[in-house]
Amino acid sequence: MKELNIRKNDSGQRIDRFLKKYLSKAPNSFIYKMLRKKNIKLNHKKATPDTIIHEGDTIQLYLADETIEKFREKEKVEKSLLDLNVIYEDDNIILINKPAGLLSHSVDKDYGKNIVDALVYYLYKKGEYNPRFEKTFKPAICNRLDRNTSGIIIGAKNYEALRVINQAIKNRYINRYYKTIVKGDVKKDGRIKGFLSKDVELNRVEISQSKKDDSKEIETYIRVIKSSGQYTLLEVELITGRTHQIRAHLADIGHPIVGDAKYGDKKTNRYFKDKFGLHNQLLHSYRIVIDQIDQPLDYLRGKEFTAEVNRKFVEIERELFNHKEKGR
């Protein structure tokens, strides 16, 4: 029998979700069967899958050591060579200015070349994370940015912070603002709506004005900062936060983002690549404002954080708009 002591970072979740992470290689059917047959108990008593576990609880695994080892995925921290651009950090969260061209999450076991792996290694070096002391928790990010989108990513150092930030994002209590340069002259500020459908095979989305079977409602707010007539610098606020929402939504209204290879204008992209060496869309998550947030992160209520755009964005902005504000 193996006994697991529940620590703070594992508290507040259903026991079946904890077990699916702790025995990550086990089929779900095995976990539910072991709970049902009382081969897995909580505080020496039978537990149902939806029982919430708390700090100080103990879970008893009446399983062979070989079985546990077979279903466990050993966590280890490997070195990441990425140098994180940290714009804010406290005991619970960390805000990172992600450069364009970098993944938020790992793909195909390409360890270290993404924000999540770099964050884990960063906190491991600081002594704030050690996988030997954790049952299931690992530092995580609360929002994702596309590979070629830059800007603020929110990282959580503990489970409670991850839960609270995710809930605040879900409730739209954290306002997220982007800067972007688009083709054409956007005439006025406004709220744009539509429905977004995913094409998983093509890894792209489609926007429509009417509801489809698999579509989800989207809403985006745009504010004109400057215009040259040919191009417009916008501030974009995400009201909903769907995959590729800003990129596809702006393209759908006839103002594709400069440099966007998937939804953009090929001729425009070629011009900016030749003239400026641009290889990514000019889309930067530059500001977040935390309106409301639960304890223990309520000290962040009303806080605003910004992340500077990169040099190439600044260079192109100056070239296009020459610091002249659009007359309103």
Average pLDDT over residues 189-193: 96
- Using CA atoms, how far apart are residues 303 and 276, in angstroms rounded to an integer? 35
CA distance 176 to 92: 20
Confidence check: pLDDT of 141 > 90: yes
pLDDT for 112 beyond 80: no
- The Cα–Cα gap between 263 and 145 comes to 16
Structure tokens at 199: 């094409």
Neighbour-count burial for 193-209, b at 16+ CB within 10 Å, e otherwise: ebbbbbeeeeeebbbee
> How confident is the model over 38-51, as a mean pLDDT?
97
Q: Please report which confidence band the pLDDT of residue 251 belongs to, taking 50, 70 and 90 as the band edges.
A: very high
- Average pLDDT for residues 247-268, to the nearest whole number? 97
Q: Tell me what pLDDT residue 113 has.
A: 83
CATH classification for the domain delimited by 174-321, as one of 3.40.710.10, 3.30.2350.10, 3.40.50.1100, 3.30.360.10 = 3.30.2350.10
The string of pLDDT tens digits covering residues 172-182 is 999 999 999 99
Topology of the domain comprising 2-71: 3.10.290
| Mean pLDDT calculated for residue range 2-22 | 94
Q: Say how far residue 225 (Cα) sits from the centre of its chain.
A: 26
327, pLDDT greater than 50: no
- 157-176 average pLDDT score: 96
Instruction: Say whether 86-170 and 2-71 share the same fold.
Output: no
* Segment 200-210 mean pLDDT: 90
Q: Write down the domain spans for the chain.
A: 2-71, 86-170, 174-321
Q: What is the pLDDT of residue 212?
A: 86
> Given a cut of 50, is residue 71 above it in pLDDT?
yes
Average pLDDT over residues 158-171: 95
**pTM, two decimal places:** 0.88
Q: Report the pLDDT value the prediction gives residue 326, as an integer from 0 to 100.
A: 44
> What average pLDDT does range 32-39 have in this prediction?
97
Whether the pLDDT of residue 82 is over 50: the answer is yes
Q: Name the band, by pLDDT with cuts 50, 70 and 90, for residue 271.
A: very high
86-170 has which CATH code? 3.30.2350.10
pLDDT of 100 higher than 80: yes
User: 110 pLDDT exceeds 70?
Assistant: no
Q: Give dist(CA 154, CA 164) in Å, integer.
A: 12
